[in-house]
Amino acid sequence: GEDVEQSLFLSVREGDSSVINCTYTDSSSTYLYWYKQEPGAGLQLLTYIFSNMDMKQDQRLTVLLNKKDKHLSLRIADTQTGDSAIYFCAEVDSSYKLIFGSGTRLLVRP
């Protein structure tokens, strides 16, 4: 069945790079997404990658996609304390519903 998996927790020092990993199962997904959720808030669309791309860069964010291994990663360069949040990876299935992982909690230490 469809499943998206992420590691639960990542702690980095301010100014370092963060890498959040995700694996998914639906090879027919047309897009893969990264959302950010801050405490008490909804989900903010950070970036997304089309399935025929290997990499997408958007300012401090770099998304890498390995379709063969069904592996997606999000790299945040120069991580700041404001980046502390929960990050969700999501795939979209053939019926256009988003399937989310359980989220990775990123803690940025000063």
Partner 1 sequence: DAGVTQSPTHLIKTRGQQVTLRCSPKSGHDTVSWYQQALGQGPQFIFQYYEEEERQRGNFPDRFSGHQFPNYSSELNVNALLLGDSALYLCASSSRGDQPQHFGDGTRLSIL
User: Which positions touch partner 1 (CB under 8 A)?
Assistant: 4, 30-31, 33, 35, 41-45, 48, 88, 90, 92, 95-103
- For the bound state, the minimum distance from the C-beta of residue 89 to partner 1, rounded and expressed in Å, comes to 9
51-80: buried (b, 16+ CB within 10 Å) or exposed (e) per residue?
eeeeeeeeeeebbbbeeeebebbbbbeebe
Please, are residues 16 and 82 in contact by the beta-carbon 8 Å criterion? no
Please tell me whether residue 14 adopts helix, strand or coil conformation: coil
Comparison of 5 and 16: residue with beta carbon closer to partner 1: 5
Comparison of 19 and 50: residue with beta carbon closer to partner 1: 50
- For the bound state, the minimum distance from the C-beta of residue 100 to partner 1, rounded and expressed in Å, comes to 3
Comparison of 80 and 102: residue with beta carbon closer to partner 1: 102
